[in-house]
Amino acid sequence: MPHLGKRLQFFLARNGTLLGLVLLVLIFTALNPSFLTWRNAKNIGQAVSELGVVAVPLALLVIGGAVDLSVGSVASMAGVIGGQVMLSTGSAILGILAGLGVGAVAGAINGALVCFANLNSIVVTLGSLSAWGGLALYVTDGQTVAGLPDDFTGLAEITILGIPLEIFILAAAIVYGFVILTRMPYGRRLYAVGGNSRASFLMGVPVQRVRFLMFVQVGIAAAIGGLMLSAKLSAATPITGQGLELNALTVVLLGGVAFAGGMGRISGVVAGLFFVGVLRDGLVVTDTSQFLQQVFLGLTLIAAVAIDDTIRQLAHRAWTSSIAEPEPDAVTAQSALGNSD
């Protein structure tokens, strides 16, 4: 019976966000029957697509023991640079490549400072958040980059089998994260580095390179998110990605990814993503005040931190109890929480 209680605790810790998502859907459907429709589900998928594209690689980085809080400013910078290149060359492809280049450079700078200069990732990326945000305002003089080519803005209107292209991009990001964590040695290295970087180094894992590559990928993902937003808005603004970093981190922590690193699942991140999406959409559908919407989203971030703390405490209890009372069927933190889907 004690083991049953532990299993139940771990189940609730791992799947609390998913259960909360189901509860949210039921509540909003009861308040407004039109909430649970295919059309609204598609709207939610479109609304969270850019956030998900950034949140998935950010989750991988956090699992690896680091964090990037500059993704919002990088998204803005990539959007405006991409937009300016499009206007000057008339080529959407060159603009997209320029935007992706900005993301790669931003990620590489963050990664170099954190991984090779051994600086704290929170401090470095907070500085980058301010630097890239200010640079985006400087290069545009605070103005919107409008008049983007039709072949770029038209990307936001493409549908395949009635499903918007941006949802397919989100699905590709989710599959990418799942494959990395469950099918590739790089994913196992991320877990090892995030769990114990010193031990990983002694075992021959290239700790700095693993994290550096993930920083670059997060920067590119932020650029993709910024370009997607620019296409959707038919314009690029220097504040396009404002708040993206907090929303992405909320999704990551809601998804059960340990902020300290070494633990997390893509399925949990997906649940966290749609929890935020459903919450936002439901508040709009039920005509909740825009100011109260910000309150609820803030409380969601607090809940995400609480979930992260709860999972770490349960993992510690399971580990200590397994040492004190070893049994063949004991549920350890490793087997109960798992490092992959």
Model pLDDT for residues 144-175, shown as the tens digit of each residue:
999 899 999 999 899 998 899 999 999 999 99
pTM for the full predicted model: 0.86
Helix (H) or strand (E) holding 159: strand 159-160
Three-state DSSP at 160 gives strand
The Cα 169–Cα 50 span in angstroms is 9
Instruction: Please say whether the beta carbons of 244 and 55 come within 8 A.
Output: no
Task: Give the range among 14-28, 116-130, 167-181 with minimum mean pLDDT.
Answer: 14-28
Q: Which residue has the tokens 């090779």?
A: 116
CA distance 75 to 238: 9
Residue type, 39: R
**Bigger pLDDT: 338 vs 201:** 201
Write out the H or E segment, with its range, that includes residue 164. Answer: strand 163-164
Q: How confident is the model at residue 143 (pLDDT cuts 50, 70, 90)?
A: very high
Asked if residue 52 lies in contact with residue 224, where contact means CB atoms within 8 angstroms, the answer is: no
Q: Which residues pair with 236 in a beta bridge?
A: 145
Q: Could you read off the pLDDT of 67-100 as tens digits, one per residue?
A: 999 999 999 999 999 999 999 999 999 999 999 9
Phi, psi (5° rounding) for residue 160? -125, 115
Mean pLDDT of the region 297-312: 71
Distances (CA, A) of 49 to 227, 277, 297, 306: 12, 10, 18, 25
Range ranked top by mean pLDDT from 52-61, 153-162, 298-307: 52-61
DSSP code of 235?
S
